[in-house]
Structure 1
Amino acid sequence: MKPWIAAGEAVSPDGTRLELVEHDGEYIIKADDLPLMSTRMHFSEVELARLVCTKLKSGAKVMIGGLGLGYTLRSTLNLIPKDATAVQVELVPEVIEWNRGPLGPFADHPLNDKRTELVQDDISKVIKGARNEYDSIMLDVDNGPTPLVQERNSWLYTDSGLQAIRKALKNGGRVAIWSADDEPKFVSRMKRNGFRAQKHQIQAHKGKGGIRHVIFTGRKT
């Protein structure tokens, strides 16, 4: 059996150790040895964009929090108009380097698209600085509202975080939040913070059984 090979390492600002590993052509990003995402199972990352980026108008502007393996950005670019803008926010510079290097071909080099605006910053800071600016916001920065890998992300899922997301969206704008598992009370939290909210059970592998992830969506009311 071929061994797993370390292809890159990084430490996030809060001390989380990130590692990019490769095995027989498959890449995985781990956080403190916990697998976060894989080039073999990424259908839910694709669906994250589809749920909130279809039928956007000319000149639309969307935001993606968390670059990961680049699949959500690629899916977004495939959906938005030719004159739209996809603001990709990523905090860790090494993750950007990995996507410009060995990960690039998997999602067809989405960072090279002229519609991509790359921002290296904390997604919370970017959201707090926006007002009625985005048609859609997609968040894939952790394992979900409760099983956090990086504690700095917890604010996004609080009442204050959801209110800030709502303020950053245009009227009628939509948010999609990726989660590894179901969070039974999170839809209610979104509703009380001004969203028409739903949850979607999404297969990790397209057209197959097995692991399912959850995507919470909400439209600004």
Structure 2
Amino acid sequence: MSTALPDEEFPGARFGPGPGTPPVVLDRREGPYGEVVLRRHGDLLQIIANGTFLMDTSDGRSERLLVDAALGALDGRPAPSVLVGGLGVGFSLVRAAGQERWGRIAVAEREDAIVEWHRTGPLGAYTARALADPRTEILRTDLVAYLRGPGERFDALCLDIDNGPGWTVDAGNGGLYDAAGLAACRERLTPGGVLAVWSAQPSPAFGEALRNAGFQGVRTEEVPVARGVPDVVHLALRPA
């Protein structure tokens, strides 16, 4: 969920909106989690949830780092599986599908509207090839509930559903980052698997929470910025 520099993987992303260009609403939906809106602002597409800006197609460096860092943290196991949460504008999915090493690529997205904007709407221009990849599966589910329930294990969890552990889209997402939520993440990883969590800023407290939840090798990777606070990826390993 970043808004920094242009992303060459997404057509049109290199051209930002001109001065004074007003955003245009392309679709507005009311769902079980509130309102979601798809807007076009110049050449950018933006997703707004309950009046809060979530993400746009201007930059995907930190989302690509989310996937790259998770893959780099894994051992040499063949065709590791990854669960991406959520779909957003598709940066993380596109990155994973572009890497031959991944095996199964599952994406958890609770907003039907966002899935449809990719399947039949404007976001399909960015993700059609990744969605058509035979390794890809879209899980229409709430990520927090999905992880807390019984189910398969993954070699990597790449999670980006909020602006960070301390800046959630809604109150319900807070359960992903507390002790019970992190324990659920740990249990849904294979031994030696990696948890990667996107955040708009570093959080030493979250790093400590990961250690308290039984993770090892806890660290962060930053996206360099000219000024301001960098986006980061929190990484942690389930003990082998």
Shared fold (TM-score, shorter chain, > 0.5): yes
Partners of 1:4 and 1:26 lie apart in 2 by 9
Structure 1 residue aligned with 2:36, among 4, 9, 18? Answer: 18
Alignment RMSD: 1.9
Question: Which shifted more, 123-132 or 149-158?
Answer: 123-132
Structure 2 residue aligned with 1:172, among 187, 192, 196? Answer: 192
Structure 1 residue aligned with 2:182, among 162, 179, 189? Answer: 162
Deviation at 1:120, TM superposition (A): 0.2
SS in 1 for 2:204: coil
Partners of 2:197 and 2:238 lie apart in 1 by 14
Partners of 1:45 and 1:110 lie apart in 2 by 15
1:56-71 mapped onto 2 (5 Å cutoff): 57-71=77-91
Structure 1 residue aligned with 2:147, among 101, 123, 127? Answer: 127
Question: Which shifted more, 123-132 or 147-156?
Answer: 123-132
Partners of 2:23 and 2:66 lie apart in 1 by 28
Partners of 1:143 and 1:47 lie apart in 2 by 15
Q: What is aligned with 2:226?
A: 209
Deviation at 1:219, TM superposition (A): 0.7
Aligned-pair identity (%): 29
Gaps of 5+ in 2: 1-19
- Does the 8 A contact of 2:98 with 2:130 survive in 1? no
TM (normalized to structure 2)?
0.82
| 1:146 equivalent in alignment to 2:163 | no
**Is the alpha carbon distance of 1:77 and 1:91 closer, same or farther for their aligned partners in structure 2, counting shifts above 3 Å?**
same
Partners of 1:163 and 1:147 lie apart in 2 by 20
**Is the alpha carbon distance of 1:12 and 1:138 closer, same or farther for their aligned partners in structure 2, counting shifts above 3 Å?**
farther
Q: What is aligned with 2:61?
A: 43
- Does the 8 A contact of 1:60 with 1:81 survive in 2? yes
- Does the 8 A contact of 2:161 with 2:169 survive in 1? no
Partners of 2:176 and 2:31 lie apart in 1 by 17
Kindly tell me the number of residue pairs found equivalent between the two proteins.
215
- Does the 8 A contact of 1:8 with 1:19 survive in 2? yes
Q: What is aligned with 1:27?
A: 45
Higher strand share: 1
Gaps of 5+ in 1: none
TM (normalized to structure 1)?
0.89
| 1:113 equivalent in alignment to 2:130 | no
* AA partner of residue 35 (structure 1): F
Q: What is aligned with 1:198?
A: 219
